[in-house]
With several copies, the nearest count.
Chain A
Amino acid sequence: MKVDATIREIDIETVRKDFPVLSVKMGDNSIAYLDSGATAQKPLAVIERMKEFDSHQYATVHRGSYRLGEEATQIFESGRETIASFIGAKQGREIVYTSGATMSINLVAYGYGRKFIRRGDEIVISDMEHHANIVPWLKLCEETGAVLKVIPVTETGEFDESAFVKLLSARTKLVSITHVSNVLGTVNRVKELSALAHSAGAKVLVDGAQAAPHMKIDVSEIDSDFYVFSGHKMYGPTGVGVLYGKYDLLETMDPLLTGGDMIERVTFAGATYAPPPQRFEAGTPPITQVVGLCAAIDYLSAIGMETIEERERELLEYGSDLLRKIPQVRIIGTAPGKAAILSFVVDSVHPHDMVTILDGEGVAVRGGHHCAQPLMDRYNIPAATRASLAFYNTTEELDRLSAAIRKAVALFG
């Protein structure tokens, strides 16, 4: 299959031209953008598609029965099929458009949690969750009297699965875990964990914010009840996200937001709600952003998620090797098969200073708690520096990262 492989291999020079931000200058250099875990840059295909839509196809959806509106509706609604097939969902109507992963999780915490979770019930999350997958559950527990249980994380950054099994019981109502850790890069065995949770009778939410941009997702195989992610982290626009939910479950849930477009009948005595996914999409949805997200999916699919995964694996290996050669660097998160996220600490250089020094060299990384304070506590560090990679990064950028870290180490001696 040599021919195929050649076609599918990434032509990095061409790919980089697709992403205009990658050519932005920082001082004398182009920026080395190593913060795709926070947000990914957008290819021209996405930027231009939104421009085209806003310029020639824009109208509101569901309400306008003139042609412009019907076509906009058709484009908008068919996005559900595009997304469903991208993540292996069976039906477009299992795709709820939201404003982001955070909103998707809140929607489940409210629409499912508030409705079905009671005092004494248990919700299981983990030590490596993003605040988006912690705070909504803290709030739910506070309001309902449910109890939060936390899967511990091993030193390498993996779930302690036997501890997980022990946490499960008849009281476990929901297990909400990340697919890929935004700090450690760990790829969790969500399929297996999901099966375990199901056999205890719990529902499962998988936070795919860091997974969907970087690997082939198959929610039917994972068999989670919910799966969430954000557009902006997968090369699409800000302002849009997705909640996938099994349809029969969505049907039982309450809306988080109410208003126009999600109702059937309204009188001052009460309102009846539309079926999913409309029930969860009150008000004018992020129309242009859904179009942009679908353009991002088309772009990714054209390259191929396997190709992306492979390239990122190579970059990760290259970068890890470089960092391991700097004695002062301690890498946080060393699970086998991890995703292309390199978090590290250097005792003498606070992450905040590290970020500034690296920025001086045109290398953009993130320092801080990465919205994962409990994980920082777990590793007993106040903060960490994170380089998070995407397929558009290069080994040359990683060389620059490594040289800049060495410079910081030398400066702070």
Chain B
Amino acid sequence: MSYSSDLYQQVILDHNRKPRNFFAMEDSTHHCEGYNPLCGDKITVYLKVGNGGVIEDISFNGSGCAISKSSASMMTAFLKGKTIDTAKSVFESFHAMVTDDPGFDQAKSNLGKLAIFEGVREYPSRIKCATLSWHTLISAIDDKKEAQTE
């Protein structure tokens, strides 16, 4: 098996080819544009947040590599119907996973299918691709105008 095949698993390739929730939402309550200056990836995340902080709808559009696109796609699929608080805590787990935070425990995490991005930690320059949509999400929630990878 070659070095890169544990990164480009079928699920990721599939979300890249057919991204879910890939549209500009007209009636969003929050949205934000995220940008990764290193590779030029640009993604806008849209949210419609209802009563009790429930994410009633979530979508994204823009351009980017397979990792950032599939990560955004899977993020939207995962978070639809969840609350903002859940989203924030999932972000933290996700971030801990891909940055190989020693405190991170896969088994105990709430990441579900998103755990497929674990392999990204072996590719330091790709971590920002995987987290771009997440950073943008958080900035959208916080009503910031623009998000950037750290």
Contacts and interface: CB of A to CB of B under 8 A. Distances in A.
In the complex, is A directly touching B at CB under 8 Å?
yes
Interface of A: 26-27, 62, 65, 67, 69-70, 73-74, 263-265, 274, 349-353, 356-357, 359-361, 367-369, 373, 376, 382-383, 411-413
Contact of A359 (B4, B17, B129): B4
B27 to A, nearest CB: 28
B40 A353 contact: no
A307 to B, nearest CB: 33
A399 B7 CA distance: 24
Interface in B42-68: 42, 63-67
B125 interface: yes
B123 A357 contact: no
Nearest to A265: B37
Interface-centre pick from B16, B65, B67, B129 (highest chain A CB count, 10 A): B65
A382 B124 contact: no
Given A360-B2, A411-B8, A70 B39 contact: no
B3 A353 contact: no
Given A359-B4, A360-B2, A368 B13 contact: no
Contacts of A369: 39-40
Interface string B11-34: 001001100000000000000000
B80 interface: no
Nearest to A65: B125
A352 B123 contact: no
Interface in B76-95: none
A373 B4 CA distance: 28
B124 A368 contact: no
Given A70-B123, A350-B65, A350-B66, A356 B7 contact: yes
> 4 tightest A-B contacts by CB?
A360-B4, A65-B125, A350-B65, A352-B65
Nearest to B148: A264
Contacts of B66: 349-350, 353, 412
A382 B40 contact: yes
Nearest to A63: B38
B123 A356 contact: yes
A73 B126 CA distance: 13
Given A265-B37, A352-B129, A70 B124 contact: yes
A360 B3 contact: yes
Contact of A357 (B8, B17, B37, B129): B8
A352 B126 contact: yes
Nearest to B64: A350
Contacts of B38: 62, 368
20 contacts: A70-B124, A263-B37, A264-B148, A265-B35, A351-B39, A352-B65, A352-B129, A353-B66, A356-B7, A360-B5, A367-B39, A368-B38, A368-B39, A368-B40, A369-B40, A376-B40, A382-B41, A411-B13, A412-B66, A413-B17
Contacts of B42: 382
Contacts of A73: 124-125
B4 A356 contact: yes
Most A CB contacts (10 A, CB to CB) among B2, B16, B42, B125 go to B125
A382 B4 CA distance: 23
Contacts of A62: 38
Given A264-B37, A360-B3, A353 B67 contact: yes
A66 to B, nearest CB: 9
Nearest to A358: B4
Nearest to A274: B37
A62 B128 CA distance: 13
Contacts of B123: 65, 70, 356
A369 B39 CA distance: 7
A357 B39 contact: no
